[in-house]
């Protein structure tokens, strides 16, 4: 893909709060942990992502989620887009995700968004993730003008921008 240099190597482990939590690329094998995380926070996530992505639908099934994760895993391998999962140290629970995508709208060279499960909203882990993501993108990703969707631009203003 032209949005990343040919020699770019994406990070595979990003520590958060020491190493109590971390980010890593999501895999199809994460479906058993991802589905309850997403559906357990579905109403809030729909309020954020639903109007733009139509996700997560109330009717999303475990199998549909597994298929989505397999697609995300292939896209990461091909450097088309990236979905990082937020996990505890033991990887016993998915606590959120970070999406890094090629720009759909003009004015940026990468688009980044993220979420945490309902239980972590406004807590230490969410605050640490909110601080980490822009620093991580600046340090480890080749973007000159990343856009933080729902953070530095509202989803409504983003939708109003011309397509890339």
- Residue 7 covered by a domain: no
Sign of the alpha-carbon dihedral angle for 51, 66, 18, 9: negative
Please give the full DSSP string across 4-60, using - where no structure is assigned: S-TT----S-EEETTTTEEEEE--GGGHHHHHHHHHHTHHHHHHHHHHHH--S-TT-
CA 155 from centroid of its chain's CA atoms: 15
Q: Is 162 helix (H, G, I), strand (E, B) or coil?
A: coil
- Give the domain extent around 76: 14-160
Question: Within a domain: residue 106?
Answer: yes
Q: What is the arithmetic mean of pLDDT over 89-114?
A: 97
In a domain, 40, yes or no: yes
pLDDT in tens, 130-146: 999 999 999 999 999 99
Task: Tell whether the model's pLDDT for residue 1 goes beyond 80.
Answer: no
Residue 59 within a domain = yes
pLDDT tier, 2 (very low <50, low <70, confident <90, very high otherwise)? confident
Residues 6+ apart with CB under 8 A from 39: 56, 60
Any domain includes 4: no
Which pLDDT score, from 0 to 100, does residue 104 have?
96
pTM given for the model:
0.96
Question: What CATH number is attached to the domain comprising 91?
Answer: 3.40.630.30
* C-alpha to C-alpha distance for 130 and 18, rounded to whole angstroms: 15
pLDDT digits (tens, 9 = 90+) for 54-96: 999 999 999 999 999 999 999 999 999 999 999 999 999 999 9
Rounded (5°) CA angle 72-78-84: 40
């Amino acid at each position: 893909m032209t949005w990343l240099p040919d020699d770019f190597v994406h990070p595979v482990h990003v520590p958060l709060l020491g190493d109590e939590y971390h980010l890593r690329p999501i895999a199809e094998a994460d479906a058993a942990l991802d589905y309850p995380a997403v559906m357990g926070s579905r109403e809030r996530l729909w309020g954020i992502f639903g109007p733009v992505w139509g996700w997560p639908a109330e009717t999303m099934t475990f199998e549909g989620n597994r298929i989505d994760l397999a697609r995300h895993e292939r896209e990461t391998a091909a450097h088309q887009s990236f979905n990082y999962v937020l996990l505890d140290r033991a990887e016993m629970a998915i606590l959120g995700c970070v999406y890094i995508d090629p720009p759909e709208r003009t004015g940026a060279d990468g688009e980044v968004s993220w979420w945490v499960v309902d239980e972590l909203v406004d807590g230490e882990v969410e605050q640490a993730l909110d601080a980490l993501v822009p620093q991580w993108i600046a340090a480890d990703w080749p973007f000159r003008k990343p856009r933080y969707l729902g953070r530095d631009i509202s989803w409504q203003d983003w939708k109003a921008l011309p397509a890339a």
